[in-house]
């Protein structure tokens, strides 16, 4: 056979064999590994790749040596020069305190049992009888003398005189020439004329209700009789003064008494409203400044009085401190000085002259009392 024919047969045979059995010898493809990545810009990559300066590390401290390890050079002492150790002297031992004897407290004696006895009620006075009793009217006595007030008949041994006088006896320490005066009484008299018919006639009884007198409690202790009061000594009569001087002094005293009784004039016109009061308070508070003061001044409350003119201007001479509370006199003077400056300064602030107040109510705000309190300010 020719060589060309052999090559053609081999080639066609190989092609037919691959076509028949070529699919059985195919291998599976190997798996590919895929990794997720993100896309960044060049600026971000530059920031990530930039080198960060490392923090400065403090140098390590040198190793300290223990002083115990450091050799201490001690001079060698001769046996004679070496100090001898001194033995400490024993401290004196204090004697043990003697034990205190135990104090045996005596047992309290049992209290005797007190029987329950009801208290004895006090003696009460007898109730008053409300039964009316009949009292016979007094019958006028026949007297030869008639007076405005009835006079009882005098005692038989007393002297009859126009004026009743008590008996005066000389005291033991009084002067020897003091006169002795006997007791005398006025003659019996009646306030009306009694006839014989009236004295002999039987008058009808008058119904009167007289309560029975209260009984004296039995358990009331007898009170000692009060000491007799000494008789007053006669005062020496003053010498008569000049009548003219007495009249002048009495006239002055009467004038002063009448002056004290004169009432203060009541302000006329309608009173200030709450808004007008708050307006005046705000005007003054705008200039009130205590500044740097002590704590005592901040606790001091002063009440300042001021007189205002019709245009609202305060009279500087009328500004006065009426009272203060919560501090000393020095702190009150400091607070009053600040209040006085505020009243004068605010009367000309804001391009106005005087405080803005209603003219028709001048009698109401002519006299003003202001309470300067660091916590709050009140106006009256």
Q: What whole-number distance in Å separates Cα of residue 189 and Cα of residue 142? A: 9
Residue 130 has pLDDT above 80, yes or no: no
Question: Both tokens of residue 65?
Answer: 């040596």
Rounded to the nearest 5°, which phi and psi values hold at 307?
A: -105, 130
Question: Both tokens of residue 41?
Answer: 């810009």
Q: Give the pLDDT band (50/70/90) at residue 204.
A: very low
Q: What whole-number distance in Å separates Cα of residue 135 and Cα of residue 97? A: 96
Which of 41-55, 75-89, 139-153 tops mean pLDDT?
Answer: 41-55
Q: What whole-number distance in Å separates Cα of residue 288 and Cα of residue 298? A: 13
Query: How much is the pLDDT for 319?
Result: 93
Burial of 102 (0-12, 13-18, 19+ CB in 10 A): exposed
Buried b (16+ CB within 10 A) or exposed e, 248-276: eeeeeeeeeeeeeeeeeeeeeeeebeeeb
Cβ neighbours around 197 below 10 Å, total? 7
The residues facing 164 across adjacent strands are none
3-class DSSP state of 249 = helix
Query: How much is the pLDDT for 263?
Result: 39
Residue 222 has pLDDT above 60, yes or no: no
Domain assignments of the chain as residue spans, ordered by start: 274-379
Buried b (16+ CB within 10 A) or exposed e, 215-224: eeeeeeeeee
Q: Mean pLDDT score of the chain, rounded to an integer?
A: 68
HSE-up of 284 (CA within 13 Å, CB side)? 28
Contacts of 300 (CB under 8 A, 6+ apart): 324, 325, 326, 327, 331, 332, 334, 335, 374
Question: Both tokens of residue 286?
Answer: 């705008």
For residue 108, give Cα distances in angstroms to 101, 103, 111, 112, 114. Answer: 21, 15, 9, 12, 17
Residue 35 has pLDDT above 60, yes or no: yes
Instruction: Select the CATH number that applies to the domain covering 274-379 from these four: 3.30.450, 3.30.1150, 2.60.40, 1.10.260.
Output: 3.30.1150
Q: Give the pLDDT band (50/70/90) at residue 301.
A: very high
3-class DSSP state of 360 = helix
3-class DSSP state of 285 = helix
Residue 125 has pLDDT above 60, yes or no: no
Higher pLDDT, 150 or 285: 285
Alpha helices in 243-328 (DSSP H): 243-261, 274-285, 295-298
Residue 304 has pLDDT above 90, yes or no: yes
Query: How much is the pLDDT for 119?
Result: 52
Question: Both tokens of residue 271?
Answer: 């009173």
Cβ neighbours around 123 below 10 Å, total? 11
């Amino acid at each position: 056979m020719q060589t060309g024919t052999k090559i053609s047969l081999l080639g066609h045979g190989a092609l037919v064999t691959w076509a028949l059995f070529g699919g059985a010898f195919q291998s599976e493809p190997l798996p590919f590994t895929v990794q997720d990545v993100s896309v960044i810009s060049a600026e971000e990559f530059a920031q990530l790749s930039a080198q960060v300066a490392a923090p400065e590390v403090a140098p390590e401290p040198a190793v300290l040596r223990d002083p115990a390890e450091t050799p201490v050079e001690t001079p060698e002492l001769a046996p004679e020069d070496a100090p001898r150790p001194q033995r400490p002297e024993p401290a004196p031992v204090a004697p043990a305190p003697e034990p205190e004897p135990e104090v045996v407290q005596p047992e309290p004696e049992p209290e005797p049992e007190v029987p329950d006895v009801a208290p004895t009620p006090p003696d009460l006075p007898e109730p008053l009888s409300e039964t009316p009793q009949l009292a016979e009217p007094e019958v006028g006595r026949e007297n030869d003398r008639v007076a405005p007030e009835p006079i009882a008949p005098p005692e038989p041994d007393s002297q009859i005189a126009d004026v009743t006088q008590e008996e005066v006896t000389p005291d033991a320490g009084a002067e020897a020439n003091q006169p002795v005066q006997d007791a005398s009484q006025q003659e019996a008299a009646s306030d009306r004329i009694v006839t014989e018919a009236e004295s002999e006639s039987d008058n009808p009884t008058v119904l009167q209700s007289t309560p029975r007198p209260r009984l004296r409690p039995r358990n009331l202790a007898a009170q000692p009789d009060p000491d007799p009061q000494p008789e007053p000594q006669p005062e020496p009569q003053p010498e008569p003064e000049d009548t003219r001087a007495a009249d002048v002094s009495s006239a002055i005293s009467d004038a002063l008494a009448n002056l004290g009784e004169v009432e203060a004039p009541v302000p006329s016109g309608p009173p200030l409203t709450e808004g007008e009061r708050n307006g005046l308070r705000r005007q003054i508070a705008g200039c009130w400044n205590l500044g740097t003061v002590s704590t005592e001044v901040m606790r001091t409350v002063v009440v300042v009085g001021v007189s205002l003119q019709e245009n609202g201007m305060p009279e500087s001479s009328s500004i006065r401190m009426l009272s203060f509370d919560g501090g000393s006199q020095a702190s009150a003077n400091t607070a009053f000085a600040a209040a006085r400056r505020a009243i004068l300064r605010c009367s000309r602030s804001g391009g106005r002259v005087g405080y803005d107040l209603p003219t028709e109510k001048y009698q109401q705000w002519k006299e003003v009392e202001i309470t300067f309190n660091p916590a709050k300010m009140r106006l009256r």
